[in-house]
Amino acid sequence: MARQGQGFTDKLYWRERFPGGVRHCYVKARRLRGKSVYVALCDGAIRIVGNIGGQAVGRPIEALRCARCDQKETWRRGWEASGPCTIGES
């Protein structure tokens, strides 16, 4: 069961930090000089972009996820295990 005030009201974005690398989970933090600032759940790495690469919020297969980001998402959502892959779902 999700904790009060969290659930899916906070959008999390799984994106590659480097091409061909594992996907990290980012949460939108604020805007800075007209650009959005996203912070990785695993280590607080900041990503400043005009956009995060679309609205897609799909979760990749576990083998492609940063383990620390996956664990933090699980905690944020109040889940007992990692969430399922949601890429390719309609």
CB-based contact 71:62 (threshold 8 Å): no
Report pLDDT for 30.
80
Report pLDDT for 17.
85
* pLDDT tens over the chain, length 90 residues: 444 444 456 789 898 888 888 999 998 888 788 788 888 999 888 776 666 666 677 899 999 999 999 999 999 999 999 999 988 654
Residue 62 one-letter amino acid: E
Cα 13 from Cα 9, distance rounded (Å):
13
Report pLDDT for 78.
92
Report pLDDT for 64.
95
- Which residues fall within 8 angstroms of residue 52, CB to CB, at 6 or more apart? 13, 15, 26, 28, 36, 38
